[in-house]
Amino acid sequence: MRTPKVVAILVVAAAVSAASAQAPPVSAPTGQKTLAATLNVYAFPSAGQAPSQQAVDETTCYNWAVQNTGNDPFQVAKNTQDAQQQAAQHQQQVQQATAGAGAKGAVGGAATGALIGAIAGDAGKGAAIGAGVGLLAGKASQQSRQQQASQHAKQQVQSANQTQAQQLDAFRKAFSVCLESHQYMVRY
């Protein structure tokens, strides 16, 4: 009685073994991006190129695109980051330089008010009024300089981002043309 069950198990095991032998091996993803994918350019080997050949072709095309456009995308990204840091530092410097502008304005206003008040007959009252006016003028001046610095920093960042986008676009076009000449289907 046990013999038919053993035979059935052996037949099923043989069928599973045969099916797995016919199936193509599935390789696990390596988790590493290709050079093209790192640059947000996707290249499909339409002529059946091996991954090692694709890596060689991508490196060749990368170097060709850098040489022909003058843009290295990794350097472009670094330059943009540097420009953003410089803009932020400039804005901080302006904020530090204008700190205390209200107090300085109050002191200057008090001195001017005291002088005018002395001429008019009440130096103390003139100093108090002058201090208040100077404080307000100093604060307004401080806000104006900070707004100008903020606007300037925003313009620098926008300009750097626009330049980066243009340079990366030129590079990707050149890189893609080269990859297409090596029989890759390319999208970016």
Note whether residue 28 is domain-resident: no
Note whether residue 15 is domain-resident: no
Note whether residue 133 is domain-resident: yes
Note whether residue 22 is domain-resident: no
- Paired with 186 in beta bridges are 43
Side-chain half-sphere exposure of 108, counting CA atoms within 13 A? 12
Categorize the per-residue pLDDT at 26 as very low, low, confident or very high, splitting at 50, 70 and 90. very low
Average pLDDT over residues 139-163: 79
Note whether residue 117 is domain-resident: yes
Note whether residue 14 is domain-resident: no
Domain count within the chain: 1
Range of the domain at 182: 33-187
Higher pLDDT, 86 or 3: 86
Question: Residue 33 is encoded by which pair of tokens?
Answer: 């991006």
Note whether residue 6 is domain-resident: no
The label of the residue with tokens 């953003």 reads 84
- 71-80, 155-164, 166-175: least confidently modelled range: 155-164
Is the predicted pLDDT of residue 42 greater than 90, yes or no?
yes
pLDDT, residue 13, reads: 47
Is the predicted pLDDT of residue 167 greater than 70, yes or no?
yes
> Over the stretch 61-120, which tens digit does the pLDDT of each residue have?
999 999 999 999 999 989 888 888 887 787 787 777 766 555 666 666 556 655 565 565
Where residue 28 falls (left for φ over 0; alpha for ψ -120 to 50; beta otherwise) is: beta
Note whether residue 91 is domain-resident: yes
pLDDT, residue 100, reads: 59
pLDDT, residue 50, reads: 95
Cα–Cα dist 47/148, whole Å: 56
> Over the stretch 43-68, which tens digit does the pLDDT of each residue have?
999 999 999 999 999 999 999 999 99
pLDDT, residue 136, reads: 67
pLDDT, residue 152, reads: 78
CA torsion sign for 53, 55, 60, 65 is positive
Is the predicted pLDDT of residue 164 greater than 80, yes or no?
yes
Side-chain half-sphere exposure of 15, counting CA atoms within 13 A? 6
